[in-house]
Amino acid sequence: MNLISTVHGYPYIGDNREWKKCLEAFWKKEITEEQFNSKMEAIRLNHLKRQQELGLDFITVGDFTLYDRMLDHATMFGIIPERYSWIGGKVEFSTYYAMARGKSDVIACEMTKWFNTNYHYIVPEYEDRPLQLTENYILEYFIEAKEKLGLITKPTIIGPYTFVQLSKGYDEKTKASFYLKLLPLYVKVLQELVDAGAEWIQIEEPSLVLSLDKDDIKLVQQIYRQLVESVPSAKIMLQTYFEGLSAYEDICDIPVAGIGLDFVHGKEQNTSSIRQYGFPKDKVLGIGVINGRDIWRANLAEKATDVHAVLSISGATKAWIQSSCSLQHVPVTTKSETKLESTLINALAFADEKIVEITSVTSYVRDDAWYGNKRVSDSMKAIETLSQHKMRKNEKVREELSLLEQNHFSRPMAFKERQSLQKEVLQLPDYPTTTIGSFPQSKIVKETRKAWRQQEISDDTYRDFLEKETARWISLQEDIGLDVLVHGEFERTDMVEYFGEKLSGFAFTEKAWVVSYGSRCVKPPVIYGDIEWTSPMTVKEVVQAQKLTSKPVKGMLTGPVTILNWSFVRDDISHEQVANQIALALRKEITALEDAGIKIIQVDEPALREGLPLRIENRDAYLAWAINAFKLATSRVKNTTQIHTHMCYCEFNDFIEPIRALDADVISIETSRSHGELIESLKQDPYDLGIGLGVYDIHSPRIPSVEEIDTILKDSIQVIPKEQFWVNPDCGLKTRNEEETIASLKNMVKATHKLRKLQSYPVQ
């Protein structure tokens, strides 16, 4: 039996986020381009050495990025929108990062979710112009590993089918042209890698787990026949992940050297497909058996049994034992954690630990012997000990869930009737202006919070600082002219972590960072027990802010599905059960806010869509419980209490119905990079509740002009009635600096005032 251990990809951020710090130092011009390149090379090589030391047989290159891999591919192929004034040749960092972040005179490319993960990628924009191979960066990484470490690695590249599926700017008429221009460049990349000594090339095609029709299947077959015929010496591992492979029999007929399958999230379907159709004898089977998307220790005995079963039913004699997907979705190593209780830390496995699990399972299946002291029994004991933890035995929470009835999941009054009551109570002008919730987390805010957490300053000193910062920003918001204010969230590090710290059932790490987008890293909390509300979490701060102004101040909460999807979630009960536990806790917080006189409460659900199953046939079940969890949290408020929600980048064109089903009084949507598309969608399918389309992109440091926002507002009023129209940025402002935040919001308010004046005196 020929078995080797490998992973699709490895976290590129480093144990202490060295990658992020280097990138941001370069943006701030604290280091030169030469220093930046040198530091990034050192980080790359250290990651390869680490994987080698952990015992992987086959190490991957091309999984590293200087911002985002889809952006890397777009610039490598010369898919650069005309607005960036690129004239060909090597793409300079100024252009690359302008596409990612925008700059003063040009907007950034659109950003959206990578399948159903919390990672955001930059969407390539095809403009039907000639393409070119500007620079084969994957080849450079392969040669770098070969010459500096003596490693023959496995280069990885995002496949042409997935790349085009996730791009924009083409229709059915120009799609063929896109492929005709793109495929020769893929051929060139592959040939250069083979010529440099690459023995295997991994081509990632996660889009092959989506629902495929006959035309899709035919296209994929044509793509790979062309690639294999053009570079016959390339040994291609066609790698799929996140779900079971669609059109299994047809895809297996593609003349590639190997096919990788996910036996975690796609275990049932992939196993069934192999059992029904077999597996090609001439191909290597990639067995993705260790979960690349969670942080829980694997039962090694069970995983070894799974591998044996797959090998038995497939008849494969050559296989790669690997992660289910790239390990970029998990933190680097549990060795960085020193404060978690032993029961929990023993049950965790981050990227490094998962590699050890992969090599352990590989060696056992290959050699019929476990290596390492009690490795299998230790994994089983750790899992069992956690299952008996007292935090998983909260009878009060279980009883509350059992008593839920249907009327707990709906508002007692229809939107139009509520809207009339809310208008009378709130007395807001037409086109009310507001923000999403957070204001800049300045250096002094972060340093003061850090000093408090490290007990360098007293609780009173910290509380006094937060009160002064809140008061300052209430005053700034009034000066800017916003209609509905927020307290600024200066006490919060993260919109999920903050609530997790105040609810039972959560644990928190020190350095378990993962990338969300660009250099933005998050440290998801760990849901390991039953979740319970014990005391008010936000009431004091919001009430204090409300006392400082006559304008309404929103209560700010993170929704149950977002807390779920942006956490590492226990795997012993269903996600529906966990979401309902969170919803019950938030329901009590909302009641506390109402009792304190807060009339507008925002319950953000930016991650609602990202949890959507990739296969269409599985989506209705998810949406049913996810929408119900939001409604469980929000539906028992007074009719005069206005419920807001917010959503981040996603394809809203096909998600309007679930948004409507939430029955929130107002939704704000992050659409500044794809505003026109949503306008067109709303023309076809009008939205009948309150809605605020994000009028400028907060992920870019550029300040939008009044004229720019004015244009967006005038477009929006064509599809949104005045009674439903809200004006807001497209996301929270915590990552921006104060100067650009104030300038941008002032321009937003000025543009809104222009709109109000225009609507007051319509042209006859």
* Phi-psi category of residue 465: left, alpha or beta, with phi > 0 → left and psi -120 to 50 → alpha: alpha
Angle 467-700-109 from CA coordinates, rounded to 5°: 150
Q: What is the DSSP string of 203-237?
A: EE-GGGGS---HHHHHHHHHHHHHHHHHSTT--EE
> Do 634 and 590 meet the contact criterion of CB atoms below 8 Å apart?
yes
Of 204, 296, 280, 216, the residue nearest 242 (C-alpha): 204
Q: What is the DSSP string of 231-290?
A: STT--EEEE--SSPPTTHHHHHTS--SEEEEESSTTHHHHHHHHHHH---TTSEEEEEEE
> Do 669 and 647 meet the contact criterion of CB atoms below 8 Å apart?
yes
Q: How far is CA 299 from the centre of its chain?
A: 27
Residue 489 marked in a binding site = yes
User: How close are the terminal C-alpha atoms of the chain, in Å?
Assistant: 82
- Take residue 221 and report the two structure tokens written for it: 């077959």
Residue 604 marked in a binding site = yes
Residue 646 marked in a binding site = yes
Residue 17 marked in a binding site = yes
Is 172 buried (19+), middle (13-18) or exposed (0-12) by CB count in 10 A?
Answer: exposed
Residue 73 marked in a binding site = no
Residue 610 marked in a binding site = yes
- Measured in degrees and rounded to the nearest 5, phi and psi for residue 58 equal -135, 120
Number of other residues whose CB lies within 10 A of the CB of residue 45? 15
Residue 424 marked in a binding site = no
Range list of β-strands (E), 565-624: 568-569, 600-604
Residue 511 marked in a binding site = no
Residue of 265, 487, 699, 753 marked catalytic: 699
3-class DSSP assignment, residue 5:
strand
699 is catalytic: yes
Residue 120 marked in a binding site = no
Residue 204 marked in a binding site = no
Distance (Å, rounded) from C-alpha 243 to C-alpha 273? 13
Residue 438 marked in a binding site = yes
Residue 20 marked in a binding site = yes
> Do 625 and 608 meet the contact criterion of CB atoms below 8 Å apart?
no
Give, for 111, the enclosing helix (H) or strand (E): strand 111-113
Residue 521 marked in a binding site = yes
Residue 118 marked in a binding site = yes
Residue 648 marked in a binding site = yes
Distance (Å, rounded) from C-alpha 574 to C-alpha 588? 22
Distance (Å, rounded) from C-alpha 699 to C-alpha 674? 13
Of 241, 229, 238, 242, the residue nearest 257 (C-alpha): 238
Annotated binding residues for L-methionine: 436-438, 489, 604
Annotated binding-site positions for L-homocysteine: 436-438, 489, 604
Instruction: Extract the annotated binding site for 5-methyltetrahydropteroyltri-L-glutamate.
Output: 17-20, 113, 118, 520-521, 566, 610
Binding residues: 17-20, 113, 118, 436-438, 489, 520-521, 566, 604, 610, 646, 648, 670, 731
Q: Which residues are catalytic?
A: 699
Binding residues for Zn(2+): 646, 648, 670, 731
